[in-house]
A and B are shown apart, each in its own frame.
Chain A
Amino acid sequence: AQSVSQHNHHVILSEAASLELGCNYSYGGTVNLFWYVQYPGQHLQLLLKYFSGDPLVKGIKGFEAEFIKSKFSFNLRKPSVQWSDTAEYFCAVNSDNFNKFYFGSGTKLNVKP
């Protein structure tokens, strides 16, 4: 079975700091990769996704992620975080062309104003 690892469970940053959240998955074949975000009191929302092509994908709110196939990684980045980025971030993988997604355990980001 697949697994998804998010190395940082809780990250605290000050506004304007740069962000990088790690995500690694265990599957050797073709994968679709996603980052979802859950703001306080809200439902999970898609941040960005990678299916194929340019391994650097851009999402909403200035987030981007880079797919590195050799490292089985899909790290999320943002050059300068804002207080409104405080949320929990989930990495997800889908590999079998069905809607069975494997999620990481999530990273709680707390941005101090």
Chain B
Amino acid sequence: KAGVTQTPRYLIKTRGQQVTLSCSPISGHRSVSWYQQTPGQGLQFLFEYFSETQRNKGNFPGRFSGRQFSNSRSEMNVSTLELGDSALYLCASSSDNSGNTIYFGEGSWLTVV
């Protein structure tokens, strides 16, 4: 069974630009959540989608947004990039949204210059 797949794996953007990251969950999983990982802040929850609906949102500015498609694939978007947005963005999927185990992808490394 294929794991969680994230694309692109690495990208460099300039301040002010926007970026879209993609996540394909494990087959059959309907919940997709996103986390930002930085050395200083650790892993921080961004948002979670279940059956195309955002169920939870973390404490990030509105520049961070996401969506989920009918096939459970998810995208997250960051607009007006800032240097502080440089991080590893992790996607995780789960079979449901009941607080069960989440399975992580390898992440997308974003560098903002």
Taking Cβ atoms with an 8 Å cutoff, the residues of A that contact B are 32, 34, 36, 42-46, 49, 90, 92, 94-106
Contacts of B66 in A (CB 8 A): none
For residue A101, give the distance in angstroms from its CB to the closest CB of chain B: 6
Interface residues in chain B, defined as those with a beta carbon under 8 Å from any beta carbon in chain A: 3-4, 31, 33, 35, 42-45, 48, 50, 55-56, 58, 90, 92, 94, 97-107
Known: A43-B104, A43-B107, A44-B104. A99 touches B42 (CB 8 A): no
Q: With contacts A44-B90, A102-B45, A104-B42 known, is A96 near B99, CB below 8 A?
A: yes
A44-B104, A106-B42 known; A99 vs B31 contact (CB < 8 Å): yes
Partner of B42, one of A43, A45, A100, A105: A105
B104 x A100 contact (CB < 8 A) = no
Q: Which residue of B lies closest to A105 (CB)?
A: B42
Q: Are A99 and B105 in contact (CB under 8 A)?
A: no
For the residues of B in contact with A, the DSSP-based class is: strand
- Of B3, B45, B98, B101, most buried by chain A (CB within 10 Å of CB) is B101
Label chain A's interface by main secondary structure. loop
> Please, which residues of chain B bring their CB within 8 A of the CB of A99?
31, 33, 48, 50, 55-56, 92, 94, 97-100, 102
In the complex, how many angstroms separate the beta carbon of A110 from the nearest chain B beta carbon? 17
Task: List 9 A-B pairs, minimum CB-CB distance, nearest first.
Answer: A103-B43, A44-B104, A94-B99, A105-B42, A43-B106, A100-B56, A97-B99, A99-B48, A43-B104
